[in-house]
Amino acid sequence: MAEIEVGYLGIVEVGGTRIRCNNMGSTPTQQVLDYKHIYGLNDSGSGSTTKGETIGAIIDQKILWRPGMYLLAGSFSFPADEDNAGVLYDYIKTGEYVPEIKFKYSCGTGIAFQNCRLSQFTLSVTAGDMLNISVSFVATSSDDIGVSESYEDAKKLITWDKVDITGADGNLQSVNLNITNEIIPIYTVDGTVFSGNEFGPRDLRIGEQNVSGVINTYLKPIEFTMNDETEEGLITIVAPNLTIGINAVKTPLQVSTSTGVFYAGEVFTGVGRALI
């Protein structure tokens, strides 16, 4: 397993696109799996004895076990620029594999994650601020890549004035979009098609996709109540090199009760084929 030296910021590279990150990290997971057995700690079965034990006696637990599946989970976040804003969206939209995600640290340390699927994609932007994106992924394997490179190319960050949002009423104050894909590892006893690790998954299946978010406005929008006549509507978020269309319904209003500028949130939930 590749090791990461802590304490250094760096860049993520996806398909040749470099992303300056303000946070990035990974976590390997592998659990001990106990084999299930018929009798629990205080189970006694029927009759006067069970497996030679007196009724009510504590039954020894079985000690058979095996190593569980080996997975790698990672995440990173970054302020989007005009080149990298859309590089990850298509992967969360379709659930396709990202062939490789590379973490490169300024200390000359690097790690490459292979055969990744995105489990979460979050986009947020507030009036007067920058567009921020965070991503979580699951990978099947990783390798050390010793790198020592600088990334000095000037990039223009995407600010609020470069983001266009339609499908909401009032003067907009912020938008937050969260997309999650359920990752279901498929494991077989003969190991994986991805690597030589016999405890690796054979495939990472995509289960349910959930899309939700909130668009805050300075003016109180219409009160929404879901009923049999509630219709789906289109919400779009457009920024340089990024276009997101969401087939959504609006759910009951969220109103801020804190002091300060009054704003209310149009909460939406993606339905059907949510991302279009």
Residue with tokens 């969260």: 178
**DSSP 8-state assignment for residue 261:** S
- CA–CA dist 219, 222 (Å, integer): 10
pLDDT (0 to 100) of residue 47? 47
pTM confidence score: 0.82
Q: What is the pLDDT of residue 4?
A: 46
16: which strand partners?
none
Using CB atoms within 10 A of its CB, is residue 122 exposed (0-12), middle (13-18) or buried (19+)? Answer: middle
In this prediction, residue 237 carries a pLDDT of 97
Q: Phi/psi zone of residue 9: left (φ > 0), alpha (ψ -120 to 50 degrees), beta?
A: beta
| pLDDT mean values, one per 10 residues, the chain (276 residues) | 51 90 87 66 53 59 72 93 94 95 83 94 96 95 77 87 91 95 80 61 90 87 72 94 95 67 82 92
> Pairing relation of β-strands 242-250 and 264-275?
antiparallel
Strand 32-34 with 23-29, pairing:
unpaired
Within 8 A by CB and 6+ apart from 167, the residues are 215, 233, 234, 235, 236, 246, 248
Give CA–CA dist 176/155, Å, rounded: 23
Taking the C-alpha atoms of residue 145 and residue 111, their distance in angstroms, rounded to an integer, is 5
**Token pair in block for residue 18:** 């470099």
